Each structure stands twice: as C-alpha cells, then as structure tokens.
C-alpha cells in the first residue's frame, strides 16, 4: 500500500514542485528532469515524501471522520442489536470475496465494516476508509433477501476498493487545500488544528453534506464507476454461491426508490441500460437466501417498530 500511495501522481507531482521550491534540486517541471546536487539532498527529499504521505493520511482520516459524523447527524445514529450483527456476518464473507476479486489487500480502507443508521431513508454510502453506512429503510424497502444484502454490501465495498470517492477528495485536496498549507506543512509533516478543520470542510463540500446534518448526501457516482461496482457485486455473489440476478433486482429497486424522491439527486447512477447489460451476463445459478433474511432482519425490524 505504501508504494501505491507514494507513487500516486498527486503526491509525486506536488512533491516535485515543493522540493524544487525549496532549492534542493535543480529541476525542470515540464520535462520532469531531476538533477540532485548531493546524496544528502536525496535523503532530504525522501524524508519530505514520507512527511507528505503522513499529512495526506491525516487529511484522509479527517475527511472520513467528517463524513461519518455528518452522515450520523443527517440520517440517524448507528443501530445496535442483532441486525447489525447479522449484517456484519454477511459482510465478513463479502469483504473477503471482494478483496480477492479486486486483488486488493486487507489493509487501510479495505478493512470493510458496516453500520445501520436508524432512518427510513434507503441511503447507502461507502466512506473511503471502509465504513459502509446503510439506512434501516434500505433493509426494509430495497433489500428483499440475503443475496440482495450481499449485493449491496459488495457494491459498496467495490466503490471503496476502487477509490471512487477518494479520487474526488484527493483532487479537491490538491486543488483547494494542498497549495495553501505552505511551509507549516513542509516543516512539520502534521496537519494543524486549522488545517484539520479545513480538511473536514473540504470533504463535506465534496460529498454534499454539511456539518450540522441539515443537508442530505449529495454525491453522484459516475456511470463507469457504477458499472464497475455492480459487476464486482455480481462476481462476488457468484463466488459465494448466491443468485447473481439478485444484484440486478436490488439495483432496480434502489433505482426506483432513489428516483421516487424528486427532491434529491440519486447517489447511485443506475441506468436502465446498465441494468439490462448486467442481466445479460452469464453466471452459475445460486441461492437467494430469502428465509434467513426474513427471519433475521425483516421480522426483527418489525418487532422493533411495534
């Protein structure tokens, strides 16, 4: 993971500029030609890379905490009891299968975990650090069986592992935040309180939330991101022996539910065209697991409502 982080274009390009600005290298940014003036300078620049990586990780942590806090304020607190435990059990297998299919390790953001927010809203969103937030309403009105629960979890795991939200947050960081940090950042390798606040604001703006919880999530995945997340979900369901067409059934219901709310833009970009493409893929038949879901989740949700 470290190699992946250090070699991202965002880090390297930003660093080149910063290191050159400090006079450590004579370099031509256009041609990326770097001429180190001594070995000591190279060591210094490696230290700078490590510091910047630390700062970027702090920025990411602050961003994710801000999104989680705002989601809880906007939608409701995480539920306790048997339902989250059941969902966590399904997620355990789904997470493993997703990591294998997407060839990612279990470190950092790919340690997936789920929380059920106590809201009628059928919201579902994967925070880039691996926290998957599902509204109670999603379990009641969208998900019809265990295969569909596995589908929605795999779909969110795929969005996270493919870094769909990270790409947006990192871009915002680079454009609106990174350049303003200046020497404070270069010397300390730590985000100041002020910059942590700024990181939180930047992240919330990017996903369309506010810190008071008054604004619902206004984030839309791109079409190709949605396709990738749903195709991974199909592969995951097949590998776990679930009915793959439950991905399409879940996505169709989610699409209808999101479209029914005229005041909000859909978060998941689920076109009819995409769903029919998914329907045409060939897979081994599998189970839907309707009974365990009805017994474990729907019945208990019903009990809690009474």
Nearer to Zn ion, 24 or 244 (CB): 244
Nearer to Zn ion, 221 or 293 (CB): 221
Q: What are phi and psi of 182, to 5 degrees?
A: 60, -145
Any contact of residue 229 with Zn ion (CB under 5 A)? yes
Nearer to Zn ion, 24 or 154 (CB): 154
Shortest distance, position 256 Cβ to Zn ion, whole Å = 15
Nearer to Zn ion, 60 or 268 (CB): 268
Shortest distance, position 267 Cβ to Zn ion, whole Å = 7
Shortest distance, position 126 Cβ to Zn ion, whole Å = 8
Nearer to Zn ion, 185 or 250 (CB): 250
Q: In whole angstroms, what is the distance from residue 53 CA to residue 154 CA?
A: 29
Stretch that binds Zn ion, among 30-38, 85-93, 198-206, 217-225 (CB under 5 A): 217-225
Q: In whole angstroms, what is the distance from residue 15 CA to residue 29 CA?
A: 11
Stretch that binds Zn ion, among 1-9, 23-31, 196-204, 221-229 (CB under 5 A): 221-229
Q: Tell me the number of residues near Zn ion by CB under 5 A.
A: 4
Any contact of residue 143 with Zn ion (CB under 5 A)? no
Instruction: Spell out the alpha helix ranges (H) of the chain.
Output: 2-6, 9-21, 39-75, 82-102, 136-141, 146-161, 164-176, 182-188, 193-207, 223-240, 245-260, 272-280, 290-293, 299-305
Shortest distance, position 164 Cβ to Zn ion, whole Å = 8
- Contact (CB, 8 A) for 44 and 104: no
Nearer to Zn ion, 62 or 267 (CB): 267
Q: In the 3-class helix/strand/coil scheme, how is 212-248 assigned residue by residue?
A: CCCCCCCCCCCHHHHHHHHHHHHHHHHHHCECCHHHH
- Contact (CB, 8 A) for 139 and 217: no
Any contact of residue 268 with Zn ion (CB under 5 A)? yes
Q: In whole angstroms, what is the distance from residue 295 CA to residue 78 CA?
A: 21
Contact residues: Zn ion, CB under 5 A: 221, 226, 229, 268
């Amino acid at each position: 993971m470290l190699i992946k982080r250090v070699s991202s274009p965002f880090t390297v390009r930003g660093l080149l500029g910063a290191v050159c600005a400090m006079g450590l290298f004579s370099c031509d940014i256009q041609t990326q030609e770097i001429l180190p003036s001594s070995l000591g300078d190279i060591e210094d620049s490696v230290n700078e890379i490590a510091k910047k990586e630390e700062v970027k990780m702090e920025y990411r942590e602050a961003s994710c905490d801000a999104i989680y806090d705002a989601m809880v304020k906007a939608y409701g607190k995480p539920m306790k009891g048997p339902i989250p435990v059941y969902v966590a059990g399904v997620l355990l297998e789904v997470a493993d299968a997703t990591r294998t299919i997407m060839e990612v390790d279990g470190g950092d953001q790919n340690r997936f975990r789920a929380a059920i927010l106590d809201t009628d809203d059928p919201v579902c969103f994967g925070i880039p650090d691996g926290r998957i937030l599902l509204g109670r309403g999603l379990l009641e009105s969208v998900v019809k069986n265990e295969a569909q629960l596995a589908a929605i979890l795999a779909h969110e795991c795929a969005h996270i592992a493919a870094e769909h939200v990270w790409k947006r947050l990192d871009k915002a960081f680079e454009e609106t935040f990174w350049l303003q940090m200046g020497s404070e950042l270069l010397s300390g390798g730590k985000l100041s309180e002020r910059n942590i606040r700024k990181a939180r604001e930047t992240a919330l703006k990017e996903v369309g939330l506010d810190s008071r919880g008054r604004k619902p999530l206004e984030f839309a995945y791109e079409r190709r991101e949605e396709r990738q997340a749903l195709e991974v979900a199909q592969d995951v369901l097949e590998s776990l022996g679930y009915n793959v067409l439950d991905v399409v059934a879940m996505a169709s219901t989610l699409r209808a539910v999101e479209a029914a709310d005229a005041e909000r833009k859909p978060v998941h970009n689920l076109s009819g065209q995409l769903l029919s493409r998914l329907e045409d893929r060939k897979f081994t038949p599998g189970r839907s697991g309707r009974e365990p879901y009805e017994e474990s989740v729907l019945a208990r949700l019903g009990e809690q409502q009474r």
